[in-house]
Structure 1
Amino acid sequence: MAKCKLVLLRHGEGAWNKENRFCSWVDQKLSCAGVKEAQDCGKLLKELGYEFDLVFTSILSRSIQTAWLVLGAMSQEWVPVEKSWRLNERHYGALIGLNRAEMALNHGEEQVKIWRRSYGVMPPPIDQSHPYFLEIYNDRRYETCDLPKDKLPRTESLKEVLDRLLPYWEEVIAPEIRKGKRVLISAHGNSTRALLKHLEGISDEEISSLTLPTGVPVALELDENLRPTKPHKLLGNEEAIQAAIKRVEDQGKVLVPAK
């Protein structure tokens, strides 16, 4: 098999990204900035000559909406889109809805970093007293999953995200790539980080320092064993990408009032 290209994408900015809240499995649409990010991403991919045969998304609106906007900007609206909960964002449990900067103030920046970035640490689980519990688990989209609702996660570390993502990668996505299909995966920060960890063999320690900004495509070139032939590359203006990475990393820090 000839070398194939895979593009991974964290969705454009969502409403709760803008508010610096743990969004997780609460369904949110893209912000105005997120719509533009997705459209700009599509324009960039078109300029670079990318074409797709198949797109995979989570079952969360911000992931799906991003894929639609990217394909629209590329004049490839006809490309099939397949959806699975296994590409969902990490389940942040009891942290869902909370502001990251306020959490850093109350619990310390280091603890928030551990909750956000460590590989094996799970936040406290969500329970029925949580204000967003019913909104998540009464949502009809979770009746479409290959697990019953009572078996779906109540919290996850990045390890659990990878564990539930890998069967979908190996059984559904990878076979399409082996057929020669050109694939875009429009997912989330943590599901994308988890897949990159698997593909590139990133260590449990090193994965905590991998930051993916919203709306920036990640290009991979894979060999016949679906292993990268070179490190992944974030596409776009390098200065803008670094600024976007810093904004993501600063989300878990205590806000310093402007003088």
Structure 2
Amino acid sequence: MACYKIVLVRHGESEWNKANKFTGWYDADLSELGVQEAKKAGQLLKENQLKFDVAYTSVLKRAIKTLYLVQEELDLHWIPVHRHWRLNERMYGGLQGLNKAETAAAHGEDQVKRGEKVLISAHGNSLRALVKYLDNVSETEIAELNIPTGIPLVYELDADLQPIKHYYLADQAEVNAAMAKVANQGKAK
């Protein structure tokens, strides 16, 4: 039985993530922590001996730089990289640039909320859409999914490209802490 792998990596923490702002299509750079998270993601992929034939990313520099730093750790700068705006973060419109916690306090938390080895470096919401599709997750469940920054999510697919299993390349305590950090960004303080 054939087994394909797709690895999803949410970009490392951006300067606007650090400031708890809705980033959307604003081209925020990685924070110092985000650079370290991206390098660690590459190290985790290397430790797990994962190799790639092709990579995809958005056109926003936080995802592009995350992918570059992962490639640096893997010594895989030679693989083709495809950039597309459809992997960009969702557009937040008038919320872009606003503080998430202040906005949640003012408006309520409910309002805030193939044949190759493939690496995708993108954003929380664009990766959430891929997870929704791959795992056939309901609208309600997907809204509660918090993909952590800088921790690779590996999907193993069968010959029909159906998921066999998926897992993060980190221990569960680290994944839970990173997910909680993302979930807490939109909470009223």
* TM-score (structure 2 length as normaliser): 0.96
Which residue of the partner structure matches residue 208 of structure 1?
Answer: 143
**1:82 counterpart SS class:** strand
Q: For residues 153 and 100 of structure 2, what CA distance do their matches in structure 1 show?
A: 25
| Residue 219 (str. 1) matches residue 154 (str. 2) | yes
Q: For residues 23 and 107 of structure 2, what CA distance do their matches in structure 1 show?
A: 19
Which residue of the partner structure matches residue 238 of structure 1?
Answer: 172
Structure whose residues are more often strand by fraction: 2
Counterpart of 1:251, as a letter, is Q
Matches within 5 A, 1:87-236: 87-112=87-112, 116=113, 177=114, 180-230=115-165, 232-236=166-170
Which residue of the partner structure matches residue 250 of structure 1?
Answer: 184
What is the CA-CA distance between 1:108 and the residue it aligns to?
Answer: 2.0
Q: For residues 4 and 241 of structure 1, what CA distance do their matches in structure 2 show?
A: 23
What is the CA-CA distance between 1:184 and the residue it aligns to?
Answer: 0.2
Which residue of the partner structure matches residue 125 of structure 1?
Answer: none
Matches within 5 A, 1:51-90: 51-90=51-90
Taking only the aligned residue pairs, the percentage that are identical comes to: 51
Counterpart of 2:58, as a letter, is S
**2:134 counterpart SS class:** helix
Counterpart of 1:254, as a letter, is A
Post-superposition Cα deviations, 1:100-129, rounded to whole Å, max 9, x if no partner, equal: 0001221122332xxx2xxxxxxxxxxxxx
Q: For residues 124 and 171 of structure 2, what CA distance do their matches in structure 1 show?
A: 19
Q: For residues 151 and 185 of structure 2, what CA distance do their matches in structure 1 show?
A: 17
| Residue 6 (str. 1) matches residue 13 (str. 2) | no
Which residue of the partner structure matches residue 16 of structure 1?
Answer: 16
Q: For residues 27 and 143 of structure 2, what CA distance do their matches in structure 1 show?
A: 25
Contact 2:28–2:61, Cα closer than 8 Å, also in 1? yes
**2:33 counterpart SS class:** helix
Which residue of the partner structure matches residue 134 of structure 1?
Answer: none
Contact 2:9–2:122, Cα closer than 8 Å, also in 1? yes
* TM-score (structure 1 length as normaliser): 0.71
Q: For residues 187 and 111 of structure 1, what CA distance do their matches in structure 2 show?
A: 23
What is the CA-CA distance between 1:215 and the residue it aligns to?
Answer: 0.6
Contact 2:5–2:116, Cα closer than 8 Å, also in 1? no
What is the CA-CA distance between 1:237 and the residue it aligns to?
Answer: 2.4
Q: For residues 34 and 105 of structure 1, what CA distance do their matches in structure 2 show?
A: 27
Q: For residues 102 and 22 of structure 1, what CA distance do their matches in structure 2 show?
A: 11
Q: For residues 182 and 55 of structure 2, what CA distance do their matches in structure 1 show?
A: 25
What is the CA-CA distance between 1:62 and the residue it aligns to?
Answer: 0.5
Counterpart of 1:70, as a letter, is V
Structure 1 unaligned regions, length at least 5: 117-176
Structure 2 unaligned regions, length at least 5: none
**2:164 counterpart SS class:** coil
Post-superposition Cα deviations, 1:82-141, rounded to whole Å, max 9, x if no partner, equal: 1000111111111111100001221122332xxx2xxxxxxxxxxxxxxxxxxxxxxxxx
**1:205 counterpart SS class:** helix
| Residue 30 (str. 1) matches residue 53 (str. 2) | no
Q: For residues 67 and 41 of structure 1, what CA distance do their matches in structure 2 show?
A: 10
Q: For residues 142 and 6 of structure 2, what CA distance do their matches in structure 1 show?
A: 20
Q: For residues 224 and 94 of structure 1, what CA distance do their matches in structure 2 show?
A: 43
